[in-house]
Amino acid sequence: MAVQKTDRVLSCLLIILSGIFIAGGVAGIWLEYQQNFWPTAQGKITDSGVFAHRSAILPTWYVGFEYRIEGKSYRQSDDSRKFGQPIFFFYGDAKRYAEIHFPPGKEVTVRYNSKEPSEAVLIPGIRTVWLSSIPFVGFFLFLAFYFRRSKAV
């Protein structure tokens, strides 16, 4: 009897924890989706290239850019760690893409957060789509395990 009660309490705590992770993932996706509706400003590419992180499996291209809002200059960077951006398996391909599409000096349209103009993106989109799906998967796996176990008892 005490074991079943402990299992139920633990199951409830895990469901609540999974719900918190799901809410965090959905909130992150929503905030990044909102970038599509930020106001725009004209900017200029300052540099572009590729970095290969030790923790990254694939090379990531990046773009540095500057822009002006109400007479004040800002510098920012953006990169390819977003859902829907081209993914390359080879460093050279990623570098060529960055050089062709984002050469230094190129005029670009920048989307910036009107509440915090120093926050800007060159390419709006969702970066955390893969990370955000992990809690969903974990939640459903947990439910499957929980219901399977409760039927076995």
Output the CA angle 132-122-33, nearest 5 degrees. 35
* Long-range CB contacts (within 8 A, 24+) of 68-74: 68/41, 68/42, 68/43, 69/41, 69/112, 69/117, 70/117, 72/117, 74/112, 74/117, 74/118, 74/120
Residue 129 has pLDDT above 80, yes or no: no
Compute CA distances 32 → 27, 82, 92, 133, whole Å: 9, 10, 29, 15
Residue 144 has pLDDT above 70, yes or no: no
Residue 126 has pLDDT above 70, yes or no: no
Compute CA distances 84 → 30, 31, 126, whole Å: 16, 17, 8
pLDDT digits (tens, 9 = 90+) for 33-69: 888 899 999 999 998 888 766 555 677 778 888 999 9
User: Model confidence at 134, in pLDDT bands (50, 70, 90)?
Assistant: low
More confident residue, 145 or 131: 145
pLDDT of residue 41: 94
More confident residue, 113 or 24: 113
